[in-house]
Structure 1
Amino acid sequence: MRAGLYFLIPIGILVWCLSVEELSAGLSAFWAAMAMLFQMVTQRPLIAWFRQQPAGPAWRQGWRDAIGGLEDGARNMIGIAIACGTAGLIVGAITLTGLGLRMTAFVELVSMGNVLLMLIFTALVCLILGLGMPTTANYILMATLMAPVVVELGAQSGLVIPLIAVHMFVFYYGIMADITPPVGLATFAAAAISGEDPIKTGIQGVIYAARTAILPFMFVFNPMLLLIDVNYGWELALVVTGATLASLTFAAATMRWFRTRCTLLEVGVLLLVTFMLFRPDWFMDHFAARHESRPVSELQAIAATLPDNGRLTVVLRGINLEGDELTKTVAVALSELSGDAGAPDAGRKRLAEAGLTLMSLGDQTQIGGLRFGSRAQRAGWEQGWDVVEVKMPNPQRWSEFWVYVPALLLLAGMWVRQGRRDGGAPARRLHTTPA
C-alpha cells in the first residue's frame, strides 16, 4: 500500500485544478494525466537510483509502463466514449429542438423557484436514472442535462452555485444509485459475498447511505467544502475540521447514540450542531449581509482592487431566448493582478483576461463581449445583458467561522451531560450496545 501512495498525487492535482484553480474539466484532466505519465516514466529509475542499481533498464521499463498505461486507458475509454457520444446525441437533440429551455422551465415549475426543492428533484432523477444505467453513464447524462439547469435557476434565485459543486452533487447521487434496490449492482455483489437477500441488503445499504445524503447539499450551499474561496491554510484546517465533526454529529444523531443513548432533545441538539458546522454562513447572514451593493460605475475599479483569484459578483438583467426578462447573480474568479492596481486600465485588463468586455451606454453598463470558453462564459455571464449591481464582500461582517464556537460549546456541554448521566455505571456502559 505504501509503495503506491504517490499515485494519489495526480488525483490531488485533478482536484486542485478543478476546485482551486477552477480550470476546465479537460485541462484539469490533462495536467493530472501528465503527472501520472511523469510518475510512470520516472518511478522505476528513481527506485533504481535509491537502490544503486543500473538506471538504463529502469528507464526502458518506465517508458514501456507509460505506453502500456496509455493503451489500457484507451481500451477503458471505449465504454465511456460510447456513453459520452450517446449523451452528445441527446444533448444535441435537446438543444436543436428547444427542449432544454422547456426542461429549465419544467424544473422551475416543479420546484416553484426554490433551490432546495430543485436539488431534491435532481437527486431523485439521478437515483431513478441510476436504476437502469451504469454510474458513469448516469453521471454523464445528469451532468450534461441537469447541471446547467441547476446553475441557471440558482443564479436566477440570487445564489451563485459553482459548476463543480453541481457536478459533485450529481456524481454523489449517481454513485448512490448503485445501492438502491431493486437494480443496485453493488447490492447484488454485496449480497453474493454475504449470502443474504439482495433486496434486504439494498434496503439496509440505503439506510446506511442516507446518513451521508446531506453532504451533496452542503457542497452546493457551502462551496468552501470543495476548497472554493479558501485562501489561507487556517481556513482549510477549519473547513476540514468542521466538516469532519459535522459528519460525525450527523451520524450520531441518526443513530441516536453519542456517548450513550440520546434523547429526542439531544438528537435535536446534534442536528443543530451539524447544521451550524456545515452551514455557518446561514447563521451569520442573519446578523450581517454577505455582500454590500456598489454602483456599477465602480465595476472596473473594484475589479482592479480584488485580490488574486478573487471572485467578482454582479447582478445581470437581460432577455433570454424565449423573450422573458430575467435577473440573475453571477460571479467569476479574476486572475492574478499584473502591474499596478492603481493603473487606469488595470480593472479592464483583469476583466479581459476573464473573457469580459464592458460597454457603457449612458448610465448603463452592458456586457459588450464574451469570449467563448472563457471563465466568464462558463460561469454564466451573458453577452448583451446589463450589469445592474455590483456586490462586494461586506467588510463589517464577521467571519462565519465564529459560528463554530457556540457549536463546539453545545457539543461539549452535551458530552459532559451524557457523561454525568451515564458516569455512575461504568460496567453497564461497557456492555451496552446501541440499538
Structure 2
Amino acid sequence: MTETPQDVRDEGLAAAQRMKEEEELGLRRLQGWTRYLVPAIALAWSLFQLSLSSWLLLDSTYIRAIHLAFAMAIVFLSYPTFRRDIHLPGLRWLGEKHKIPIADFIIALLATLAALYIALDYEGIANRVGRPSQRDMVVGIFLVIILLEAARRVIGPALPVIASVFTAYVFFGQYMPDFLAFKGVSVSRYVSQISLTTEGIYGIPLSVSARIVFLFVLFGAMLEKAGAGKFFIDLAMSLLGRYKGGPAKAAVLASGLTGIVSGSSIANVVTTGTFTIPLMKKVGYPAKKAAAIEVAVSTNGQLMPPIMGAAAFIIAEYVNISYLEVCKAAAVPAFASYAALFWLTHLEAGKLGMRGLSKEELPVFFQILRQGLHYLIPIFMLLYELIIPRHSPDLAAFRAILVLMVIMLFQRAIGRRKYGISFGQGVKLGVLEILGGMVSGARNMVSVAVATAAAGIIVGVVTMGLGGLITDIIDTLSMGNLILMLLITAVASLILGMGLPTTANYIVMASLTAPALVTIAEWQGFEVPLIAAHLFVFYFGILADDTPPVGLAAYAASAIAKSDPIPTGLQGFMYDIRTAILPFMFIFNTDMLLIGVDGIGLSLYIFGMTCVGMFAFASATQGWFLVRTRWYEIILLLGVALIMFRPGFFAGFVGISNHYLSYLVGLALWGGIFALQKMRVNNDRPAGKEAL
C-alpha cells in the first residue's frame, strides 16, 4: 500500500508524542490540586518577567534573586530526586512521580527562601561585605548545595560535578603540584563571593537570564503554541519540497526559521524533525542520514541570530559590546553555515540519485503563506524594534510578545468557521493558548535559569584569582602554540558540552579559556578580538549536541528515524565538520566576523565568498560535486576553501596587494573545477542508491 503524505505526517506526530514523553520522563505527572500548583507558579513567573519590561522597577539584585527563586520552586516541585523508581522501604518518595512528597515541599520552600535571602536582607548583607555573619554563612552554604542539587535534577550531574571540583580546588589548591598550585581562600571569602554578592551565583549570566533571555524564550514558546512551528515546516516544504532532496532542504529552512526563536537543538529536532525525517526517508534518504541531517540543521539553529541559544545576550555582556554588534559578528558564519547545509543536502541527494516530492504531495505555497502570514508579524516586530529604533532586547521582545498575544487572542475567533466554533469560543481558546504559552515559556526557562546560576559558581571561583593560573596552565599545555591552544580549547568545549546545556557550557568556557586565548595570542604578537574568542568556544559548545557518546540531539533524531543513535551522531558530526572549521577560520580572518568591515556591499561580498569556501569544503569532505570527486579535485577544492577562508594569507603568499582580490582567484579555481566536472557529468552520473 502506498504511503500518503498524511500517513507520513501521522507517523511524525506519533514520533513527536514519543519524544515528548521521553523528554518529560523525569517530570512529575501530578494529580489532584497539585497539578495546578506548578503551572500557577510558572504563570506567575511569566507575569513577573513581563512586568519588569513594562511597569515594575526593581533593583537588579532583587530581580536576580526572585528569578532564581521561581526556578528553584518549580524544580523541586516538578522533578523527583531520582528519575528511576526507588523501591527501598521509606525511600520511595525519592522517585515519586505522581505526587509531591512532603520533603520536596519543604526543600522547595527552603530553596526559595535561600534564593531570596540576598534580597530579604539586602541592606544588612551590604553592610557586612567581607564579614558574613553566622546566619549568612549557613544560608550561603545551603544555597550552593541546594542549587547544585537543583542543577543535578534538571540538567544532570555534569555541571554540579564541575562546580564541586572548582570549589574543592579553591580550598585544596595549595596541595597541588607547583604549576597547578593555588594559595586557596577561606570559607567566609568563598561564601561572600559566591552567595552574597553579584560576583558568583547572582552574577552576569543570571542577570542576563532574568532581564532578557526569559522574554525571548517566552516569545518562542508562545509562537510555537500559536502554531508557527507547523507553519514554518509547511512553508519550507511548499518552497523546496519539489527539488532534488527537497524534504532535506525544507528541514534546513524550517530549522533555520525555528532556530531564530528557539534556544535548543533538541527542541528544533522534535519540532521539525518529526515531519521532515519521515519525508526524507520517503524520498530515499537512509534513516541514519535523514536523522543526521536533522541533527546538523537543528544544532546549527542555535548559531542563528537573534537568540543564538540564549548566549547572544551573555556574549554582549562579557565582551562589553552592544547586542547588535554580537549579531553582526555572528551573522556571516551562521548564515554561511546554513547555506552550506543546503549544499550538503544537495550533494547527498546527488549521490543517491534522488527526486523531490510531486506537486500533489506538497502544500500550496500561497495558500500556506496566506493562512500563516500573521505569524510573521511578531517576528518582524521583534526585528524592527532591534534594528530600526534599536530598543533594548528586553523591550523589543516585550513588544513583540504583546503583538503575538493579540494575534493569539483572535486567530481562532477570526477563523471560527474553519474550527466550527463561535467567536466567543474562539476568544476563550485564544486566552487558554496565551496562558498555556506563558506556562510553557516559564517551564522552558527553568533549565536556563538554574544552569546560569550554577555556572556562576564556577565564574565566581575563577574571579577569586584563578584566571591568571588557568592562562598559565593552558599556555603550558599548548607550549605557547596558538593552533594547539585552539585545539585544546575546542576539545575541552566539546567534552564539557556533552553534559552541559549550551548556555552553561559557553559560560564555563568563556570564563576559563576565552580570556586565555586573547592573552596567549598577544604574547605571540597575534591579535585575537575578544568577540572572536567568545564565538570560538560558543561554536564548539554547540557542536557537542551531535557528538557521541552523549549527543542528545542525535538521540532525539534517531528515535524519530528509528536509527542507531551512535552512528547517527557520527554522521551528524561529519556533516557538521564544515561548521567546526569556521571558528578556526574566523580567529585568523576577522573579516568573517565583519570586524572593521563597513558597508552592505562589502559585507555581502565577504558572505558570498565565505559560502563558496563552505561549499568547496563540503564537496571535498563529502567526495561529491556535480559527480564523484577525484583525488586531485579534492585537493583543488580544499585549496578553494583555504583561499576563501584565509584570503590575507594567500594574498601575502602570492604577492597580491589587496587581499579581497584573492577571493576572485578562489572563485576562478572553483569555476575551473565546475567545468572539469561538467565535462564528465553525463558519464559519471549515479543510477540510484548504488552511488553510495
Same fold (TM > 0.5)? yes
User: Taking structure 1 as reference, are residues 123 and 136 closer, same or farther at Cα in structure 2, changes over 3 Å only?
Assistant: same
Q: Is the 8 A contact 2:260 2:307 kept in 1?
A: no
1:289-321 CA-partner distances (Å, limit 9, x unpaired): xxxxxxxxxxxxxxxxxxxxxxxxxxxxxxxxx
Paired position in structure 2 for 1:216: 583
Secondary structure of the 1:161 match is: coil
| CA distance in structure 2 between the aligned counterparts of 1:32 and 1:69, rounded to whole angstroms | 20
Q: Is the 8 A contact 1:166 1:220 kept in 2?
A: yes
TM-score relative to the length of structure 1: 0.62
Secondary structure of the 1:85 match is: helix
2:448 equivalent to 1:87: no
- Give the share of equivalent positions with the same residue, in percent: 38
| CA distance in structure 2 between the aligned counterparts of 1:27 and 1:272, rounded to whole angstroms | 30
Secondary structure of the 1:214 match is: helix
Paired position in structure 1 for 2:675: 416
Q: Is the 8 A contact 1:40 1:62 kept in 2?
A: no
Secondary structure of the 1:196 match is: coil
1:314-366 CA-partner distances (Å, limit 9, x unpaired): xxxxxxxxxxxxxxxxxxxxxxxxxxxxxxxxxxxxxxxxxxxxxxxxxxxxx
Alignment of 1:341-352 (within 5 A): none
The one-letter amino acid of 1:85's match is A
Secondary structure of the 1:113 match is: coil
Give the unaligned 5+ runs of structure 1. Answer: 289-396
Paired position in structure 2 for 1:347: none
> Of 253, 256, 264, which residue of structure 1 is paired with 2:620?
253
| CA distance in structure 2 between the aligned counterparts of 1:399 and 1:81, rounded to whole angstroms | 48
Aligned-residue RMSD, C-alpha: 4.2
The one-letter amino acid of 1:246's match is G
Q: Is the 8 A contact 1:41 1:62 kept in 2?
A: no
| CA distance in structure 2 between the aligned counterparts of 1:104 and 1:63, rounded to whole angstroms | 53
| CA distance in structure 2 between the aligned counterparts of 1:41 and 1:137, rounded to whole angstroms | 29
Paired position in structure 1 for 2:400: 39
User: Taking structure 1 as reference, are residues 398 and 65 closer, same or farther at Cα in structure 2, changes over 3 Å only?
Assistant: farther
User: Taking structure 1 as reference, are residues 64 and 286 closer, same or farther at Cα in structure 2, changes over 3 Å only?
Assistant: farther
Which one scores higher on RCO, CA 8 angstroms, separation ≥ 6? 2
The one-letter amino acid of 2:594's match is L
> Of 139, 148, 157, which residue of structure 1 is paired with 2:524?
157
| CA distance in structure 1 between the aligned counterparts of 2:573 and 2:516, rounded to whole angstroms | 27
Deviation of 1:189 (Å): 1.4
Deviation of 1:14 (Å): 6.8
Q: Is the 8 A contact 1:13 1:32 kept in 2?
A: no
> Of 144, 152, 159, which residue of structure 1 is paired with 2:511?
144
Paired position in structure 1 for 2:553: 186
TM-score relative to the length of structure 2: 0.40
| CA distance in structure 1 between the aligned counterparts of 2:409 and 2:572, rounded to whole angstroms | 46
Higher deviation after alignment, 408-417 or 19-28: 19-28
Q: Is the 8 A contact 1:273 1:411 kept in 2?
A: yes
Q: Is the 8 A contact 1:249 1:271 kept in 2?
A: yes
Secondary structure of the 2:520 match is: helix
1:173-225 CA-partner distances (Å, limit 9, x unpaired): 11211222222212221222222222222222222222432012122222222
Paired position in structure 2 for 1:231: 598
Paired position in structure 2 for 1:333: none
> Of 321, 326, 341, which residue of structure 2 is paired with 1:22?
321
Paired position in structure 2 for 1:199: 566
| CA distance in structure 2 between the aligned counterparts of 1:7 and 1:214, rounded to whole angstroms | 21
Q: Is the 8 A contact 2:405 2:434 kept in 1?
A: no
Deviation of 1:282 (Å): 1.4
Paired position in structure 1 for 2:493: 126
| CA distance in structure 2 between the aligned counterparts of 1:286 and 1:113, rounded to whole angstroms | 25
Give the unaligned 5+ runs of structure 2. Answer: 1-230, 236-253, 263-303, 328-385, 415-423
| CA distance in structure 2 between the aligned counterparts of 1:82 and 1:67, rounded to whole angstroms | 23
1:85-113 CA-partner distances (Å, limit 9, x unpaired): 222222322332x3322211111122222
Q: Is the 8 A contact 2:626 2:677 kept in 1?
A: yes
Richer in helix (by share): 2
The one-letter amino acid of 1:255's match is Q
| CA distance in structure 2 between the aligned counterparts of 1:203 and 1:72, rounded to whole angstroms | 32
| CA distance in structure 2 between the aligned counterparts of 1:23 and 1:274, rounded to whole angstroms | 31
1:115-171 CA-partner distances (Å, limit 9, x unpaired): 221111101001111233333322221122111111221222222222222222212
